[in-house]
Amino acid sequence: MTAEVLRLANLRKSFGSVSALKDASMTLREGEVVALLGDNGAGKSTLIKAISGVHPVDGGEIFVRGRKVSIRSARDAMDLGIETIHQDTSLAPDLSIARNLFLGREPVTLPFLGVFAPLDFTELRRAASALLKRVGISKNLNADALVNTLSGGERQSIAISRAMQFAAKVIILDEPTNNLGVEETHGVLRFVKEVRDAGHTVLFITHNIHHVFQVADRLVVMRHGEIVAEQVVADTDLLTVESIIMGADMSTLLGGSKNHAEAAG
């Protein structure tokens, strides 16, 4: 088994009277793709927002490579090597695709000038085009086009390309193939595999179980703020996963213990 990269222990989060996370625990290992499943409102986005510093948790602990960390902001998460693409993507609409792809990390011509160094637009354009091609969304997109001229799906592709480009250890995708066309969806799934093969860890939220069977090594199912099942994808099948998401009792399905956090730990 490969090394543990990220461990969540008993995360709790409430919004008023809604318990969005109830003692959620899970472990992500180096070089694996884990799919996070569950019905609408199950707590999936809340879980990844806790890891990415959007909503600090009310309780519980987060460990990165075995070390306890405090993630209070998006910057904290990025500094720990955790890159996240949220469901509602956050691009700068008035900047070009190329600028968005490298926001805050643009190549410069005179690096010794620090923050005053002029951007290297030639290199920026070249790198952006190469990245778009790699993700498989170069089709009709000009790296100089402004993001506010793009469709929702195209924007999603740009946001994903950006996260994948800088994924240090863990890359988290909240419904990355939502709104994407066939070719873009394949591009994202292929990229997820590439990132994994390069040794990174991917956690992705999806409602598409077929995608889980195409790219994920493990799957985790949430329901009402709790993690109710963890399975190795090769050891399960589509119907079983569907019934777990819909609320089947795991002990009947597997004939085993209901303590999945322990089983997976």
CB of residue 113 to ligand ATP, shortest distance in Å:
41
Q: How far apart are CA 128 and CA 130, in angstroms?
A: 5
Does 38 contact ligand ATP by CB under 6 A?
yes
Q: Which residue is nearest to Mg ion (CB)?
A: 45
* Cβ pair 117, 70 in contact under 8 A: no
CB of residue 38 to ligand ATP, shortest distance in Å:
5
**Tell me, what DSSP letter sits at residue 108?**
B
Q: Which residue lies nearer to ligand ATP by CB, 40 or 140?
A: 40
* Cβ pair 12, 58 in contact under 8 A: yes
CB of residue 73 to Mg ion, shortest distance in Å:
20
Does 43 contact ligand ATP by CB under 6 A?
yes
Q: How far apart are CA 265 and CA 258, in angstroms?
A: 13
Closest CA to 224 of 32, 11, 38, 26: 38
- Which listed option, Mg ion, ligand ATP, none, makes contact with residue 176 (CB within 5 to 8 Å by class)? none
Does 44 contact ligand ATP by CB under 6 A?
yes
| Number of other residues whose CB lies within 10 A of the CB of residue 148 | 11
- The residues in 42-61 that bind Mg ion, with binding defined as CB under 5 A, are 45
Q: How far apart are CA 24 and CA 87, in angstroms?
A: 20
CB of residue 52 to ligand ATP, shortest distance in Å:
13
Which of 4, 12, 30, 41 binds ligand ATP (CB under 6 A)? It is: 41
- Which listed option, Mg ion, ligand ATP, none, makes contact with residue 155 (CB within 5 to 8 Å by class)? none
